[in-house]
Amino acid sequence: MPRVQNPNIRVLGIRKPIPSGYVVGRSSQGTGDAELISIKSLATAVKQTAVLSQQQSYDLACFLPGQPAPSQTVMRVVAVRSFLLPANLPLSEAFANTAPSGGSAVYNLAKNGTNFGTLTFASGSQQGVFASGSDTSFAAGDTLSVVSTATMNGIADVSITFACTKQ
C-alpha cells in the first residue's frame, strides 16, 4: 500500500492536514465522525488491551437440580486451562430457586479434594454468599468440586457461576 504524503482530514467541511504523530479514527462519541488520535495514546491503548487480554474472564457455570443429598459431590469440573478464583469470589453468583428454611445451607468448595472456601445460603435467602481466605489457582487437570454438607435445609435447584480469571 503506498504511503500518502501530507494526508488531509475534513473537519466541519474544511480540509486540514493531519498533524504528524496522529492517525484518523472513528469518533468515540458514536456519531460516525472522524477524530484525530495520537499515536502515543494509541500505543498505550494497545498495551492496555494486551494486558487485559492476559487477564480475560473465564466463567464456569452449573445448575444443581433438585435437593442435594447430605455430603454429596454435586459438581466436579476438570480444568482444561489454568485459571484463578480470587479471594471471596467477588464476581461469582449463586441463586437457589428454593431457599433453605429452618437454617442455612452450606456447600464446601474444593480444589483437588481439599476445601478452600464455602458457598452459604442463609435461611430464607435465595442468594448465596461465597467465602474463601485467599486466591486459589487451578492448573489444567485440577478439579473444582462443590460438595453439600450434612444439613441442607431443603435448598433446591441451585445455579452457580464462578467468575474466574484466565492465567
pLDDT digits (tens, 9 = 90+) for 131-163: 999 999 999 999 999 999 999 999 999 999 999
pLDDT band at 50 (very low <50, low <70, confident <90, very high): very low
- What is the rounded CA–CA span in Å between residue 159 and residue 64? 6
Both 77 and 125 in a single domain? yes
- What is the rounded CA–CA span in Å between residue 154 and residue 32? 55
Both 31 and 62 in a single domain? no
CA atoms within 13 A on the CB side of 126: 6
pLDDT band at 128 (very low <50, low <70, confident <90, very high): very high
- CATH number (domain holding residue 121): 2.60.120
Q: 157 is in which domain, residue-wise? A: 57-166
